[in-house]
A and B are shown apart, each in its own frame.
Chain A
């Protein structure tokens, strides 16, 4: 079977121009380098930090240098240490949310695709409502019901994103189910679960993976936003969002406190988006054909 079956009419596959191919891989490589850098920081922070996380010996708002690469915050804590811890929280938030979104979203999306008649309409409407529901409000509800932890934030973001994933999966699966080979598989006696596992999922994963990569970037931003509002990882965890919030008042006198987490946040999100872009070009023949 042809993967192009997944998205609409089959197009004749043209070989892309060679320059296009290299630009495509350049996107992917740049993305991997940027995101990899942050991932490396996060990984190292598990084993080594320049200063203990709660060491307040640095002096108030010390500038960069003098034993502190990026300087210190109001309480005298090393900023580089915090930025490293923050990168770990960002990666955890991104991965956690995407896993929640993927598991829930795919399950819900596949079920919705199989639903018929009024149930189908109801599910579609439900997903639309969930998408329209602000992530922030959802997060506040969850935080109120549980407490402000990274887990609550991840759950809220994952839930909100699962609706987006589910809607996409529903459309993708519906298209696959309309294909002749599904009818053939069913006629030959393959059960629905086996059909889904063997024929449907393999045909939707390229689009799905690209979407999940995009969701990862959005989840990192959402977690920073929640932490900025005090709804994410509780202090003293140095989430980038919290660091930005704390540095806001001192931005004019000690800009490093806001610049460091801000720049890393941008780098990670750009990196992940570039990866998504590169993956789409590489994995998705439909867009490859169109954009070439």
Chain B
């Protein structure tokens, strides 16, 4: 009586493990896809922000702002190099 019971139980467990890992792999694939999309999104946002920094620090733009604010190039003696 015990033998068929264990046989049935192990069969059910095997099927359960198989189905669970199938389901899990599918769920992980969805998660990986979502993470990949997030990664691509952050990468692309990072690119945009880097471009913005470089555009804002463009020398042509800074020179234009300096002219608008009537700023003059400092005398060499008054420049302190910090690096």
A is bound by B = no
Q: Which residues of B contact A (CB under 8 A)?
A: none
